[in-house]
Amino acid sequence: MSSHDTAVSDDALAVLFTDAHTARSFRDEPAPIEQVRRAYDNARWAPTALNSQPMRLDLLASPEARQRLAPLMAGMNQEPVLGAPLVLIVSADLALDQSMRELGASEQMLERLAGSLEMRQGLARDSALIQLGYLVLALRAEGLDVGVMTGADLPGIDAEFHADRPWQTIAVVCVGHGDADAFHPRAGRHDFDAVSQVL
């Protein structure tokens, strides 16, 4: 138990938060898909609007798949994608109403969603971003280093990887074990008082 009486240990808080750091280059060591599966099994408990769970994943496990992605990344983001043992394309599924039916969503809500692309887009994107945040934490809990990147031609990624499905890319995540050059100096963070008001 933490000295501050938190529900998880100080060691766990360090892995998830205080020591966790964006990785940009990786050791030649695999990031097993089994670990991503376990991370997903934890991350899926994230809250999502109407329990919509719109996040979808492409796992680029082969060098060939990562080579297809690299030209669609901004210049400085190409090396991480080519050097990581595993890269995830994280998307929001705009056909989320179909998968929500499987989980027992009300027909009335599904009809409203089916009739409004704008509503589906907003819902899918908001909730997929929350799921992405949880996934990052869950991958870190597995002992993996991650680097989230949005510096990319996101519509181009959809054209290359999602031509057959309505998945809208929201981010690319490099996964692996950071090497000696992986981490930039820690950037500052705002204090609580600077970002909050108590009313």
User: What six digits make up the tokens of 123?
Assistant: 């819902």
CB of 106 to ligand FMN, least distance (A): 32
CB of 149 to ligand FMN, least distance (A): 4
Judged by CB under 6 A, the chain residues 172 through 191 that form the site for ligand FMN are 186-187
194 binds ligand FMN (CB under 6 A): no
For residue 186, give the amino acid letter: R
72 binds ligand FMN (CB under 6 A): no
CB of 80 to ligand FMN, least distance (A): 7
Question: Which of 31, 60, 100, 171 touches ligand FMN (CB under 6 A)?
Answer: 171
Q: Which of 130, 43, 60, 128 is nearest to 94 (CA)?
A: 128
Question: Which of 22, 52, 131, 169 touches ligand FMN (CB under 6 A)?
Answer: 22
- Tokens 């519509």 sit on residue: 155
CB of 192 to ligand FMN, least distance (A): 17
127 binds ligand FMN (CB under 6 A): no
Question: Which of 9, 14, 150, 155 touches ligand FMN (CB under 6 A)?
Answer: 150
* Number of chain positions touching ligand FMN (CB under 6 A): 11
Question: Which of 30, 32, 151, 155 touches ligand FMN (CB under 6 A)?
Answer: 151
Comparing every residue's Cβ against ligand FMN, the nearest one is 151
Residues that bind ligand FMN (CB under 6 A): 21-22, 24, 77, 148-151, 171, 186-187
